[in-house]
Amino acid sequence: MSRQRAQRLAELLKKEISDILLREVKDPRIGFVSVTNIDVSGDLRHAKIYVSVYGDEREKMETMEGLEQATGFIRKLLGERITVYHTPELLFRYDNSIEHGAHISQLLEKVKKEQTERKEN
């Protein structure tokens, strides 16, 4: 299969799964979730969905548990919304890249502040 087709499917899945999580999934364990990336296998049968979760560690764990429980429901809705021969198996993975980026930004701001303080002294 063409890698371009897998990328197009990944973009479509990202849009649809984000919409499903926002509007359809009513599990109270699932908090504020953002779909950051999706990797689709070459045969289009498996998709790893990387999500970022806002909250503390307990909320992140509960959200990931809720997503695991809702996988079948989400896959069923995807099958109704997209037209592919096989609806991909979904695998949710936690993505901490946004938190890591925020941490790096804080460190850079701290260094910048220290440099300006040194120049003033």
Rounded to whole angstroms, the Cα distance separating 8 from 6 reads 5
- Whether 113 is covered by a domain: the verdict is no
Residue range(s) defining the domain that contains residue 59: 3-96
**CATH code of 75's domain:** 3.30.300.20
| pLDDT in the model for residue 121 | 65
Instruction: Please check whether residue 45 lies inside any domain of the structure.
Output: yes
Nearest to 14 by CA among 33, 30, 36: 36
Categorise residue 53: left if φ over 0, alpha if ψ from -120 to 50, beta otherwise.
Answer: beta
Asked if residues 50 and 95 have their Cβ atoms less than 8 Å apart, the reply is yes
Question: Count of alpha carbons within 13 Å of 18, Cβ hemisphere only?
Answer: 14
7 belongs to a structural domain:
yes
Q: Which amino acid is it at 26?
A: K
> pLDDT tens-digit profile of 36-68?
999 999 888 999 999 998 888 898 899 999 999
Query: Over the stretch 14-27, which tens digit does the pLDDT of each residue have?
Result: 999 999 998 988 88
Q: What percent of the chain has pLDDT over 70?
A: 98
